Structure 1
Amino acid sequence: MAQNLYLLWGSDAYTLKKATQKILDDHAILKVDVEVYDMEEVALAEAIDHAMMIPFLADNKAVILASACFMGGLKPRADINHHLNQLESYLENPNPTTVLIIQAPYEKLDRSMPLYKLITDRAKVIACTQEDGEEFFQEIKDLLKEANLRIEANALQMFMSRVGNDRMMLKNELDKLIVFAGEAEVITPEMVREIVYSNPDDHIYLLVNAVIASDTEMLMQIYRELLMANIDELWILRALASKFQEILYTKELLKQNYKQEDIMHYFSVSKGRAYYIMKNARDVSDDRLLELLSRLDELDTNIKTGGIAKDVGLELFLLKLYEE
């Protein structure tokens, strides 16, 4: 097994991000020496070519194959062709100065493909799956202990019921709760009720449903509710993109004859939510989804580069949907 090849799989974005950072830290790779290639947008050949190059002004560099759709049996954009034999050749003879990280953010991998066996033989495989409730509880307690805080049992249950299994959301809401606690020593249910918003993921699903159904009144109502709950506009933007991508994946899974129960297990969602994901996948065209994802990606870039304020940009995006 090579010491500079990694496969990270699983749908827990927080754990995947944390595992990726640990790999970079372990290899002492700085952010400037990290190259990320989105496998849904960039051909595999380009990433492999860069992985084979020696780093500039550094001993090592990292190449990350993000959203490695081929590992989940999914397809990239129509104009992108992945020649998996190029990755197979690289795995047989990797560049010793490159740390290659393959990120497959999916619940299931395509274990039937020859590439899967080669990767699992040659690379270190790290599961980035959701922890069970007890581990979540302990992590929250540990983080609070670092801030010299304790949490009442009822408050812990309430906190978990509000943030759900979204690890990013958990960390963000816990940070807010720690700041809100101030000089207090114990987190109470009243504190949780006042500062922690119920899982906005439910609102994002409703927002997506409203977009697909062209229900403009519901669209703006849900958006206003999210803002009133102080949900960050960038979080809303990226959550929307994630759900549209989820629908795009579902369209591919339906072509492979996946049923409602399969979709439920694939995305780790309830039966009711799986039903609406499938319904949306049947009700919206590929072109419409790709258009929405492209506009969200462009907006994300404009916000990052200072071209537009995040609140103005997201509202203009939604208002344009309102007018369509």
Structure 2
Amino acid sequence: MDYKTAAKGITQGNSLPIYVCYGTEKYLQQEFIQHVIDKLIEPDQRSFAVSRYDLSETSLDTVLDDAETMPFLADKKIVIAKNALFFTGAKESTKVEHRIERLLEYLKSPVDYAIIIFVVDADKLDERKKIVKALKESQSAIPFLPLSVDELSRWISRRADKWGVTFEDGAIDKFILYTGAQLQILTSELEKLSLFVGPNGCITGELIGQLVVRSAEQNVFILMDEIVKQRLDNALSIFHDLLKQKEEPIKILLLIARQFRIMLQIKELEQQGYSQQQIAGQIGAHPYAVKLASEQGRSYSLAKLSGLLSQLGDLDYRMKSGKVEKALGLELFILEIPS
């Protein structure tokens, strides 16, 4: 079951006794957990009706004992247990003993006044395990995966609606480009932009460029976009801004090389028939980053990309050995890319 269906069920009063939250989108996980709390526990009861445990320090028995204990001055209770690595194939470093057989027994006859939420810091569960199979059958395992390109745009639009603001045409794409598609950062930056434009205000691309804080990685991503679009003046302006921010030229070189390497990987996988969503899983990148890198890569052949990576390797050696001044060498490379 996906998290949207699970959240809708909770809103409609059809909550499950156990949820196992896993996947890479930690922000969506926390949103889901807060949704469960908001819908089931009154604000003045949360200090005693919501329990939190760390399974690297606390046994599973303790969590289940808490769940089976009647709630105090509340109709329901929520027990949240993080670091539930026993659902994965990872080797646990903790010496805490977890009796999984007791959880299997509990799953057969859970109490109706408690909800247990296990949080797993892993991309996937080990489906060979009996407990994972049982959770899948009961639809208790909830994956939190990166949003697709379309889902991400809709997610931002819904957030903007809550703040009472809109984006001008094309501005959402620029917003994602500048923030890196990380939901926590997107939320923080959207809040800032919304407060700036005020209720019923419109967020423009120009405003995003002025106010959104960009990491070195995102600045290099934008720099690459300007290079691909043959806007070298803009690219050099971004490069000089990075230098003013005391970013090391070799670090910038490595980030540029990583982007060209991603373009090369995507182009090779696309030629093998992979979809962008499949490629994202293959190379461990966000779907939106894959979309942009795919568009950037269309300007280059496989041979050109391989050649640029070779040039960057040679430039890296010359910069580190003092044969070329670092900033100048990288600037000349940027100017030579389109040729």
Q: Indicate the TM-score class for this superposition, using the shorter chain for normalisation.
A: 0.5 to 0.7
CA distance 1:76–1:40, change in 2 (3 Å): farther
Which of the residues 151, 157, 162 maps onto 1:135?
A: 151
How many residues were matched structurally? 213
> 1:2–1:122: 8 Å Cα contact kept in structure 2?
no
After TM superposition, list the pairs within 5 Å mapping 1:213-228 onto structure 2.
Answer: none
Matching residue of 1:61:
77
1:23 partner letter: V
**Cα offset, 1:141, TM superposition:** 2.0
**Which structure would you say has the larger Rg?**
2
**Cα offset, 1:175, TM superposition:** 0.4
* CA distance in 2 between partners of 1:183 and 1:22 (Å): 25
Is 2:41 aligned against 1:31?
Answer: no
Aligned residue for 1:8, secondary structure, equals strand
> 1:180–1:195: 8 Å Cα contact kept in structure 2?
no
Matching residue of 1:116:
132
2:35 partner letter: K
Is 2:197 aligned against 1:181?
Answer: yes
Query: Higher relative contact order by CA 8 Å / sep ≥ 6: 1 or 2?
Result: 1
* CA distance in 1 between partners of 2:127 and 2:216 (Å): 34
- Gaps of at least 5 residues in structure 2 are 1-13, 220-241, 247-279, 287-339
Matching residue of 1:78:
94
> 1:66–1:104: 8 Å Cα contact kept in structure 2?
yes
**Cα offset, 1:123, TM superposition:** 4.9
**Cα offset, 1:177, TM superposition:** 1.1
Is 2:62 aligned against 1:46?
Answer: yes
**Cα offset, 1:178, TM superposition:** 0.7
Which of the residues 15, 23, 33 maps onto 1:10?
A: 23
Percent identity over the alignment is 24
* CA distance in 1 between partners of 2:192 and 2:92 (Å): 37
Aligned residue for 2:136, secondary structure, equals helix
1:15 partner letter: L
2:135 partner letter: I
- TM-score under structure 2 length normalisation: 0.56
1:170 partner letter: L
1:6-35, CA deviations, whole angstroms, 9 ceiling, x for partnerless residues?
222221111111111222233335422111
> 1:34–1:62: 8 Å Cα contact kept in structure 2?
yes
Is 2:115 aligned against 1:99?
Answer: yes
* CA distance in 1 between partners of 2:217 and 2:52 (Å): 27
1:265-299, CA deviations, whole angstroms, 9 ceiling, x for partnerless residues?
599348xxxxxxxxxxxxxxxxxxxxxxxxxxxxx
* CA distance in 2 between partners of 1:78 and 1:57 (Å): 35
Is 2:87 aligned against 1:87?
Answer: no
> 1:107–1:266: 8 Å Cα contact kept in structure 2?
no
**Cα offset, 1:4, TM superposition:** 2.0
CA distance 1:82–1:56, change in 2 (3 Å): same
- TM-score under structure 1 length normalisation: 0.58
After TM superposition, list the pairs within 5 Å mapping 1:158-307 onto structure 2.
Answer: 158-182=174-198, 185-199=201-215, 265=281, 268-269=284-285
* CA distance in 1 between partners of 2:218 and 2:180 (Å): 10
